[in-house]
A = this chain, B = another copy of it.
Amino acid sequence: MARTKRVTLRQVAEHAKVSPMTVSNFVNGRFDLMTPEMREKVGQSVKVLNYRRNFGAHLLRTSKHWSIGIIVVDASDQYLSDGYTTQIIAGVSNTLNANGFSVMLQGVKPDAFETSNMLTNLQTDGLCVLLSGSEVQRARQFEAIQALQQPTVLFLEAFEQKSDLLCSVMQDDEAAAQRLARRVLARGPKSVLIVTSGENEWAAVNRRVAGITGEIDSARTVEALDIITAGDGRQHDVIQALEAYVAANGYPSAIMCINDEIALGVLKALTLAGRRVPEETSVTGFNAFGLHDITATALTTMQSPAYEMGCIGAREVLQALEKGAFSQDVITLPVDLIEGDTA
């Protein structure tokens, strides 16, 4: 790594024949502390020498990292395979980058959270976190975050315990699930099957299930309501789980899936079995990620404001860093219904 040594502030000062302090002021935009000629002169030298401040020295002095960490807790190495996650990250990173902050990204397994180098190295000013795992694991993750004493935005999840350093940004999963359930109920289904997956246990998934079952229970028109977990939620598992269910119980009149990927798997299984959708069995997804209309019959699903959530979360961290407090404890965004043809 024989990199040529970088130009220092002092060298610029010598070049411009001023004191280092004036150069520092120039670099930091404090132009009111110098005459226009001075400013011009120093500006020239900075440009000529291609000066860039040494980040380490700056950091040592100011202890501001200008960096926000994004931690994605996921059971799989492929922690960016979910469109929901990536949209949030895109929103967060674009907003932060536009404000001069850099973004550190790390995917972590649920039980490795506390020991991840994002948490141990502490090179950030704040955090954005997507938790997952069992309730116990999530609680431990939550504790680890609190111990850091950094302003943190928690996506998709809110904890009882409030703090000035914590802000939750979520979508209204329960209301969305209710909305979707109402749409399904309009067809007067006798039986409803909910399909979830066990790969990642998101708090949001529980809220969706709660929303659906609540709405169905209070309607009192559905005779049978079952819930199955389809392995890790991929194609193969979904089809297999559905086949097993159908073999024992016959086809339900409606299948509500906890996300679009599962719904597409269900849709395929039904199509292959020659079952008409939605006439014989209606199907719904959740959290459209751009491929809901890829099938011949477009999937009925919910459109989450993921990118926007990312932007909002990022703005909240920035505000917390600037003003010392988030604007709110919990920010909940509405979810839109995509009126497809499967329910």
Asked if A77 lies at the interface with its beta carbon under 8 angstroms from chain B, I say yes
Q: In the complex, A299→B234 CA distance in Å?
A: 16
Asked if A33 lies at the interface with its beta carbon under 8 angstroms from chain B, I say no
Contacts of A116 in B (CB 8 A): 97
Q: In the complex, A264→B102 CA distance in Å?
A: 36
Whether B4 and A149, one on each chain, are in contact in the complex, defined by CB atoms closer than 8 angstroms, is yes
The contact of A105 among B56, B77, B103, by CB within 8 Å, is B103
Q: In the complex, A257→B295 CA distance in Å?
A: 17
Output the least CB separation between A292 and chain B (Å): 10
Contacts of A100 in B (CB 8 A): 117
A:111-132 near B, CB below 8 Å: 116-118, 120-123
Given A52-B120, A149-B3, A293-B235 contact (CB < 8 Å): yes
What is the total number of residues of chain A having a CB less than 8 Å from a CB of chain B? Answer: 65
A:30-81 near B, CB below 8 Å: 52, 54-61, 63, 65-67, 70, 77-81
Contacts of A291 in B (CB 8 A): 261, 264, 291, 294
**Interface-located stretch among A9-17, A84-92, A248-256:** A84-92
The contact of A80 among B60, B90, B107, B265, by CB within 8 Å, is B90
A:262-318 near B, CB below 8 Å: 264-265, 268, 271-272, 290-291, 293-296, 307
Contacts of A331 in B (CB 8 A): none
A212-232 vs B, CB cutoff 8 Å, 1 = contact: the mask equals: 000000000000000000000
Whether A86 and B80, one on each chain, are in contact in the complex, defined by CB atoms closer than 8 angstroms, is yes
Q: In the complex, A230→B86 CA distance in Å?
A: 24
Contacts of A58 in B (CB 8 A): 56
Asked if A324 lies at the interface with its beta carbon under 8 angstroms from chain B, I say yes
A54 closest partner in B (C-beta) = B60
The contact of A87 among B57, B66, B67, B78, by CB within 8 Å, is B78
Asked if A83 lies at the interface with its beta carbon under 8 angstroms from chain B, I say yes
**Contacts beyond the supplied A52-B121, A56-B60, A70-B105: 14 A-B pairs with Cβ under 8 Å:** A2-B324, A52-B120, A54-B60, A56-B57, A60-B60, A67-B123, A78-B87, A81-B87, A97-B107, A103-B104, A103-B105, A104-B105, A261-B291, A264-B294
